[in-house]
Amino acid sequence: MVSPEPANDARASTGAFARAGWLRLRFADAALEADFRRYHLAEFLPRMRKSLPVALALFLAFAMLDALSLPPLVRDGVLGLRLGGIVPVLALTWVALYVRSLREWLQWLVSASALASGLGIVGIIWVARVHAFGLPYEGIILATFFFYFLTGLRFVAASLCGWLVFLAYVAMELHVGLNGDTLLYNAFFLATANLIGCFGNHFLEQAVRQNFCSMVQLHRLAERDFVTGLLNRRAFSTRATGIWREALRDGRSIGIAMVDVDHFKHYNDHYGHAAGDVALQSVAHVIAEHARRPLDACARYGGEEFVVLWYDVDADHAMALAQRMCQAVQALGLPHVASPTAGVVSISVGLVCTAVHDAAQWDAALRAADQALYQAKQQGRNRVCAADPRTAAGG
């Protein structure tokens, strides 16, 4: 459906997001939320692709340090976890970032990889504790900040990874019997790192969502006519080309209606341009109500002229839609004393309905509808004239 108010749905969703409260990072509109997730992936995929090799390099550097400094009993277990567990998981995740078919699942895959890495670090500390070796626990804090700021994970996923690793670390230290005061301080610092990460990641995602809202609003404002809220001519051309190709692929027919407000120059001269804009908005609303399906489209084509595209309609259905649209505009009852046609605002419609056989056929179909509109004007206006479908096929 084409709304008669520009970017209204984006504003509504942005407002719903703002009213949802500080903690809920989600758009009320499911389609907008899905669009945001695709946007977020596109924005952060390059970061993921760069950060994972850095993580791999750091784990390999730590592995070299372990090999040089740890006693044999500890070294074997630590290297086994680093090189046999964490490094392969990170490497496979990095490869997955380049597989297009997996992109829908990347948040899950990266979350699982981050969690596995964090739990692997807990395992490394456990190996050291079992052999009474004082391996520093600060590696978990480094991993925690990595979860929140370098993986491209959204707030919920990053928080789950961070706090699950925190719980695993505390449980491990309790199991091996770490001194209570030491555990208290370690747990406090790790919890603080998670809190910092949560706040920072939340602010980051909130900023990304607000930027996305601004981008959506600017995009929709750019493709909409300022007065009527319908698509502008350029945006309609882009939309119509896509719909036409879909009809070509699926073997569907297309109905095209060129619409003109009768004697609109006289209306502006008599009532003024402000009243003319109001009249155009009313007509646009009626037109939009008659092009509500997902693959229908309508636009202000220029001045007082509009265009409507109906997907998968036959000639009778297209004629019925055009006639109802014409009747609905007249039923608005907008006075037009300067009109010699109806005494109220009315429209003339040129219609063509054609099977789609060729991508280049679109221009011929548009010309045929425009010629039919000329005929409607010649025959007295406030009516629908249909073109011969053969003219729309370029014949």
3-state secondary structure of 301: strand
Residue ranges, CATH 3.30.70.270, the chain:
233-392
Out of 1-5, 131-135, 178-182, 286-290, least confident range: 1-5
The pLDDT of residue 222: 84
3-state secondary structure of 2: coil
Q: Which residues pair with 231 in a beta bridge?
A: 224, 299
Kindly state the DSSP code that residue 253 receives in the 8-state scheme.
Answer: E
Does residue 22 register a pLDDT over 50?
Answer: no
End-to-end CA separation in angstroms for the chain: 33
* Mean pLDDT within 280-301: 94
* Mean pLDDT within 310-334: 95
What confidence tier does 365 reach under pLDDT thresholds 50, 70, 90? very high
The pLDDT of residue 163: 96
The pLDDT of residue 8: 44
Does residue 67 register a pLDDT over 90?
Answer: yes
Best CA proximity match to 137, nearest among 69, 102, 95, 183: 183
* Mean pLDDT within 338-347: 91
Contacts of 30-33 with C-beta under 8 Å, sequence gap 24+, read 32/216
* Mean pLDDT within 215-233: 88
Compute the C-alpha angle 86/91/95, nearest 5°. Answer: 150
* Mean pLDDT within 318-346: 94
The pLDDT of residue 386: 94
The pLDDT of residue 4: 36
- Quick one: which H or E segment has residue 57? helix 30-69
Work out the burial of residue 23: count CB atoms within 10 Å of its CB; fewer than 13 is exposed, 13-18 middle, 19 or more buried: exposed
Q: Which residues pair with 305 in a beta bridge?
A: 260, 302
The pLDDT of residue 3: 36
Contacts of 283-288 with C-beta under 8 Å, sequence gap 24+, read 283/228, 283/329, 283/332, 283/345, 283/347, 284/4, 284/225, 284/228, 284/229, 284/230, 285/4, 286/325, 286/328, 286/329, 286/332, 287/230, 287/259, 287/325, 288/1, 288/2, 288/3, 288/4, 288/230
Does residue 5 register a pLDDT over 60?
Answer: no
The pLDDT of residue 385: 95
**CB-based contacts of 39: which residues, under 8 Å, 6+ apart?**
212, 215
* Mean pLDDT within 37-66: 92
* Sign of the alpha-carbon torsion through 181, 182, 187, 193: positive
Inter-axis angle of helices 139-149 and 155-176, nearest 10: 170
What confidence tier does 10 reach under pLDDT thresholds 50, 70, 90? very low
Best CA proximity match to 231, nearest among 290, 289, 306: 306
The pLDDT of residue 219: 83
Helix/strand/coil percent split, the chain, to 5: 65, 10, 25
The pLDDT of residue 90: 95
Distance from C-alpha of 191 to C-alpha of 171, rounded to nearest angstrom = 14
pLDDT tens digits, one per residue of 78-105: 999 999 999 999 999 999 999 999 998 9
> Rounded mean pLDDT of the chain?
89
Give domain 233-392's CATH number out of 3.30.1490.440, 3.10.20.30, 3.30.70.270, 3.30.720.110: 3.30.70.270
pLDDT tens digits, one per residue of 239-287: 999 999 999 999 999 999 999 999 999 999 999 999 999 999 999 999 9
Best CA proximity match to 63, nearest among 49, 73, 77: 77
The pLDDT of residue 135: 86
What confidence tier does 314 reach under pLDDT thresholds 50, 70, 90? very high
Radius of gyration of the chain (CA): 32
The pLDDT of residue 164: 96
Residue 25 or residue 346, greater confidence: 346
What confidence tier does 7 reach under pLDDT thresholds 50, 70, 90? very low
Task: Count Cβ atoms below 10 Å from residue 99 Cβ, excluding itself.
Answer: 11
Does residue 21 register a pLDDT over 70?
Answer: no
